[in-house]
Amino acid sequence: MSYNVIYKDLGTKDYKETWDIQSEIFNDLVNMKSALSSGKSHCSELPGTLIFVEHPHVYTLGKSGMEENLLVNALQLKKVEATFYKTDRGGDITYHGPGQIVGYPILDLEEIGIGLKEYIYRLEEAVIMTLRDVNINAERFSGCTGVWIEPDIPGKARKICAIGVRSSRYITMHGFALNVNTDLSYFNNINPCGFKDKGVTSIEKELGERQNIDKIKIIVRDYLSKVLKLNLQ
């Protein structure tokens, strides 16, 4: 049985505005689920939401991250036209910007029948399958979330997709960021995901040419639908 999910492509939108949209949907789902479990509601199914978006330049820090992994001050942030937010997701610091597909699945994992660990595994799987379709061999990195290229080769390990999520009552928010045509120089201002000895990359860099991001979005969306058994609306 598939899970009904509303798909929204927000185009380019400010990080905080998008976080507010996520939070409203997330809180509604959590509250509706609480009401359902207590017998105060008779809804038979709570539809999820899958948001795709590109953000203007922004650095975000996970709740367990260290602020010293941001290597620039407020004045330097302004100079590169970037903002900074402390968030309630897992993980450390990362960058979002133009040319990057950011996905925010707001889903009830109980409707899918999986736990949080398996959910993150399936997010990684959808991205790995997407990259395979464009002739990039990507893998998981043992002990680290996200999707990597040559993770076991010293000096060559580079992350192409970061993942950081939050969950409550099995409802998820936040998600993944896949570098497509991303300006990778912005990662020089942080220790990406807390790593000082690992690189970052993008589909454009790996293939040597600029990509059609809309086509990549469709591939990612369809694999997410497949691996999570979503009925996208």
CATH number at residue 145: 3.30.930.10
Give residue 44's pLDDT: 54
Task: Check: CB of residue 104 under 8 Å from CB of residue 18.
Answer: yes
Task: Give residue-wise pLDDT tens across range 76-127.
Answer: 999 999 999 999 998 889 999 999 999 999 999 999 999 999 999 999 999 9
Give yes or no for residue 167 having a pLDDT over 60.
yes
> Which residues carry out catalysis?
193
| Residue 94 belongs to domain spanning | 3-232
Give residue 131's pLDDT: 98
Task: Give residue-wise pLDDT tens across range 6-25.
Answer: 999 999 999 999 999 999 99
CA atoms within 13 A on the CB side of 47: 9
Average pLDDT over residues 36-61: 82
pLDDT category at 193 given cuts 50, 70, 90 is low
Q: What is the number of domains present in the chain?
A: 1
Give residue 1's pLDDT: 64
Mean of the per-residue pLDDT values of the chain? 92
Give yes or no for residue 38 having a pLDDT over 70.
no
CA distance to 20, 153, 159, 163, 190, per residue, from 197 (Å) = 34, 12, 11, 18, 12
Average pLDDT over residues 147-174: 94
